[in-house]
A and B are shown apart, each in its own frame.
Chain A
Amino acid sequence: MGILNINDLKEGMTLAADVKNKHGNIMIKQGMTLTEKHIMLLKAWGIPDADVEGADREQLHQEEMKTVAPEVIEAIEKELNEIFPPIEGNELMSEIYRIAKKMKIRQAQES
């Protein structure tokens, strides 16, 4: 099991835990196999992530990186490093950096 971001959820994945909203109400039960509709609903409900069986965020990230040329990733990192202040030790800024990089890589894949 592993926590996956809503954007990384795919049809056919199995929930390893109940998905709850911020008030603690169960929205989808553990053991459900996700459909396209589930994922759409989760996004509409504003639920940020879900616990999925056999998922590994790090591994998923690695696989995604493999589909992009290393020089593209390097260029994106260079671009971000130029505008970001030092982020070491700052959890929030590191997370912003990580997401900005991920989104730029995705954009590069699409174009």
Chain B
Amino acid sequence: MNAKDIERIVSSLDRIPTLPVIYSKLGKLLQSPDATIAAVSNIISEDQVIAAKVLKFVNSAFYGFPQRVGSLQRAIVILGFNTIKNLVFATSVFDMFRGMDTGNAFDKKNFWKHCIGCAVAARVLAEAADLRNPDEVFTGGLLHDIGKLVTAVHYPERYSTVVRDVQAAGSPMVEAERKVFGYDHCQVGSALAVHWRFPPETAQMIGAHHLADGAVPSRKDIAAVHIGNILCMALGLGSGGERRLATVNPRAWELLGLSLSSLELVMDKIVKLYRENTEILDM
């Protein structure tokens, strides 16, 4: 996909949601030399809902601190600027779409559960494989299917047809989407990520998570989102509209370098953390 395609897709989605002010404020601040912990904390505390979520997140089992982290400033020190930005972003995207109508294309609640399931699964895999950025992999997983949501908001009728076809024929979503729209949710998602000026890694995790036949994953974070997506479907955590789960790309598994015997522990952890995270993100 080249720059022109991205432009075409983004411009065809004329009602691209704008991100909440807090995100752009935070983004601007983090790029400037004035980005102190106090300044970041001030911006986040303007939005009490997000502030509360940051605190819940830092106190979750992902981090496993023996004592409760009570202050926003300490939470920022622990999580770091990047993770805070990702977290604020992910929660604002969720909130932004909460009120939007997707017609009867899919059950939005189940869709969010699938997103959280994939995020948790990708993060657990990233940690097991000693990746250095598990929090970014979490965001990548959370947003991996954002293209579905945006397309469904814009074309609820046509997207319902896609989901109906997929449910009836059991074909992969990406194929049905390409037939109806000429592009798939991976392309829309990564185009949006570029439009919203996300880190390029996030855009790639969104754009490449399906790893079609024979595709070679270029990075471990992409492999983690790809496998996480399949594991959360196998475990029945929510639903992204797909009827069948895909086969794990063997190259992706190889790249992560995990042993088969570690899989049970990984899947066990996913289910436990999923329960906690659906509560934190309050879907």
Q: Are A99 and B245 in contact (CB under 8 A)?
A: no
Residues of chain B within 8 A (CB-CB) of A83 are 233-234, 243-245
B248 touches A103 (CB 8 A): no
Is B279 an interface residue, CB under 8 A from the partner?
Answer: no
> B265 is contacted by which of A48, A85, A104 (Cβ under 8 Å)?
A48
Say yes or no for A62: interface residue by CB 8 A criterion. Answer: no
Tell me if A60 is interfacial: C-beta within 8 Å of chain B.
Answer: no
Say which size band chain A's interface belongs to: 20 to 34
Cβ B244 vs Cβ A85 within 8 A: yes
Contact among B231, B234, B244, B265 for A46, CB-based, below 8 A: B265
Of B234, B236, B246, B268, which is within 8 A of A7 by CB?
B268
Q: Which of B128, B230, B236 contacts A96 (CB 8 A)?
A: B230
Are A85 and B233 touching (Cβ within 8 A)?
A: no
**A41-79 vs B, Cβ < 8 Å mask (1 yes, 0 no):** 001001011000000000000000000000000000001
Of the listed residues B259, B260, B261, B265, the one surrounded by the most CB atoms of chain A closer than 10 A to its CB is B265
Instruction: Note all chain A residues with C-beta closer than 8 A to B268.
Output: 7, 103
User: What are the residues of chain B within 8 A of A82 when measuring CB–CB?
Assistant: 243-244
Inter-chain contact B247/A90, CB cutoff 8 Å: yes
Count how many chain B residues have C-beta atoms less than 8 Å from C-beta atoms of the other chain: 25
Decide yes or no whether A5 CB sits under 8 A from chain B: yes
A48 near B247 with CB under 8 A, answer no
Cβ-neighbour of B264 out of A5, A92, A97 (below 8 A)? A5
Residue of A nearest to B262 (CB): A48
Write the chain B residue with the least CB distance to A87.
Answer: B247
Which among B244, B263, B271 is the interface contact of A84 at CB below 8 angstroms? B244
- Give the distance in Å from the alpha carbon of A97 to the alpha carbon of B234 in the complex: 7
Please give the distance in Å from A25's CB to the nearest CB on chain B: 16
Q: Is the CB of B244 within 8 A of A99?
A: no
In A5-50, the 8 Å CB interface with B consists of 5-7, 43, 46, 48-49
The reply on B250 being an interface residue by CB < 8 A is yes
Smallest distance from the beta carbon of B62 to chain A beta carbons, Å? Answer: 14
Q: Is the CB of B267 within 8 A of A103?
A: yes
Tell me whether B261 and A48 are in contact (CB under 8 A). Answer: yes
| New A-B pairs, 12, CB < 8 Å, besides A48-B259, A96-B234, A99-B263 | A6-B264, A7-B264, A79-B236, A80-B234, A82-B244, A83-B233, A90-B247, A92-B253, A93-B247, A96-B230, A96-B267, A100-B235
* 17 contacts across the A-B interface (CB closer than 8 A): A7-B265, A43-B265, A48-B263, A82-B244, A83-B244, A84-B245, A85-B244, A92-B260, A95-B263, A96-B267, A99-B263, A100-B234, A100-B235, A100-B236, A100-B267, A103-B235, A104-B236
